């Protein structure tokens, strides 16, 4: 582990202060591929508008929109437990690539394995599931956006979603985490790199190192929904990329991170995940947070079955409740 000074000289990372310098460089590298993170001057009042409210046996489900910037509102579902004793931990629940977007994690789709917002509200968490740009009810034209990537736009929207969660009287603002599957898995990771308010991060089927993503062919990352600059600036070449997932994982330290990475995931090759965890481990050890870094390698395909979710939910409980 090294960090570079203003003259480009390398220095070993020996202290938390050294790591803070290296971490800042990681975020700069991510922005070289995703475009710049906007400043706070882009924020507008959240102006939450509740469109529908449904009471179930154990929770209330609110369909709402909230403002993330001028002339842009994100549709989302908010689930709140009926048991209101004290302020609750909260989880931002990010959906996979699916036309129904936010509806899937809250239980309004057929795939019960991916209904983690519903499962977590039943465990006592306030959960918020927003639509990713261009999915669900969130119509978004990437060609008219001044964000340089869909990834950075999603990060910005998710950070505003954390603002929303922190504003709720039911939520303990110091106990918020994020979980996602597939698209939601790396969306969760990218957001948590930039937003340290997220204290627990769970990524299921969400990543592998760039050299081991389809044997180094990064084309799948280059659509407007993700990072077009990977193609136009970095030639789809892992060796030219200004960041990789070992650095993203390391950026979470000393917060809690679980990589849930199936052995038979056809999208995200598991040995690349093992490489990332091994590379990030020294940072967690440096920050005395070895117990905060975990990985689960179940024998299944690109899915989130019961026994795998059980590991994830218990990890969240352990670090957030």
> What angle do helix axes 183-194 and 150-167 make, rounded to 10 degrees?
70
Number of other residues whose CB lies within 10 A of the CB of residue 220: 12
Domains, the chain, in order of start with CATH, read 17-320 (3.40.50.1820)
Query: Which DSSP string do the residues of 194-252 spell out, in sequence order?
Result: H-TTEEEEEEES----GGGGGGG-GGGG-STTS-THHHHTTTT-GGG-S--HHHHHHHT
Contact predicate 194/159, CB 8 Å:
yes
Write the CA distances from 288 to 250, 276, 282, 292, integer angstroms: 13, 19, 10, 9
Contact predicate 152/35, CB 8 Å:
yes
* Separation CA 143–CA 196 (nearest Å): 30
| pLDDT tens sequence across 47-64 | 999 999 999 999 999 999
Res 10: pLDDT: 82
| pLDDT tens sequence across 269-313 | 999 999 999 999 999 999 999 999 999 999 999 999 999 999 999
Residue 4 reports pLDDT greater than 90? no
Tokens matching residue 197: 């308010």
Alpha helices in the chain (DSSP H): 16-34, 116-122, 150-167, 183-194, 229-232, 245-251, 270-286, 306-320
| pLDDT tens sequence across 225-256 | 999 999 999 999 999 999 999 999 999 999 99
Dihedral of CA 48/49/51/55: which sign? positive
* Separation CA 47–CA 68 (nearest Å): 9
Residue 141 reports pLDDT greater than 80? yes
Write the CA distances from 178 to 4, 26, 189, 312, integer angstroms: 31, 20, 8, 11
Place of tokens 């024998």: 299
* Separation CA 147–CA 292 (nearest Å): 33
Average per-residue pLDDT for the chain: 97
Place of tokens 């929109």: 65
pTM beyond 0.95: yes
């Amino acid at each position: 582990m090294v960090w570079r000074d203003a003259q480009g000289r390398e220095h070993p990372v020996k202290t938390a202060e050294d790591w803070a310098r290296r971490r800042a460089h990681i975020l700069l590298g991510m922005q070289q591929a995703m475009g710049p993170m906007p400043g706070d001057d882009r924020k507008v009042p959240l102006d939450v508008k509740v469109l529908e409210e449904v009471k179930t046996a154990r929770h209330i489900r609110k369909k709402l929109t909230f403002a993330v910037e001028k002339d842009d509102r994100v549709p989302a579902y908010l689930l709140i437990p009926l048991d209101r004793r004290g302020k609750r931990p909260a989880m931002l629940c990010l959906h996979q690539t699916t036309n129904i977007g936010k509806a899937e994690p809250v239980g309004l789709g057929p795939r019960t394995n991916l209904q983690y917002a519903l499962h977590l509200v039943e465990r006592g968490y306030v959960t918020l599931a927003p639509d990713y740009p261009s999915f669900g009810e969130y119509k978004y034209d990437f060609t008219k956006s001044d964000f340089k990537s869909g990834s950075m736009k999603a990060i910005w929207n998710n950070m505003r979603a954390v603002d929303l969660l922190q504003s709720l009287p039911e939520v303990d603002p110091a106990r918020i985490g994020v979980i996602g599957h597939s698209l939601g898995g790396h969306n969760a990771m990218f957001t948590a790199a930039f937003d340290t308010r997220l204290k627990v991060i769970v990524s299921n089927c969400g990543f592998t190192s760039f050299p081991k993503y389809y044997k180094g062919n990064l084309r799948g990352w280059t659509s407007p929904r993700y990072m077009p600059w990977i193609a136009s600036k970095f030639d789809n070449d892992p060796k030219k990329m200004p960041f990789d997932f070992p650095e993203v994982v390391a950026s979470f330290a000393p917060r809690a991170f679980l990589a849930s990475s199936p052995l038979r995931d056809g999208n995200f090759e598991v040995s690349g995940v093992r490489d990332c965890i091994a590379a990030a481990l020294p940072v967690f050890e440096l920050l005395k947070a070895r117990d905060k870094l975990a990985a689960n390698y179940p024998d299944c395909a690109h899915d989130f079955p019961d026994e795998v979710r059980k590991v994830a939910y218990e990890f969240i409980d352990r670090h957030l409740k």
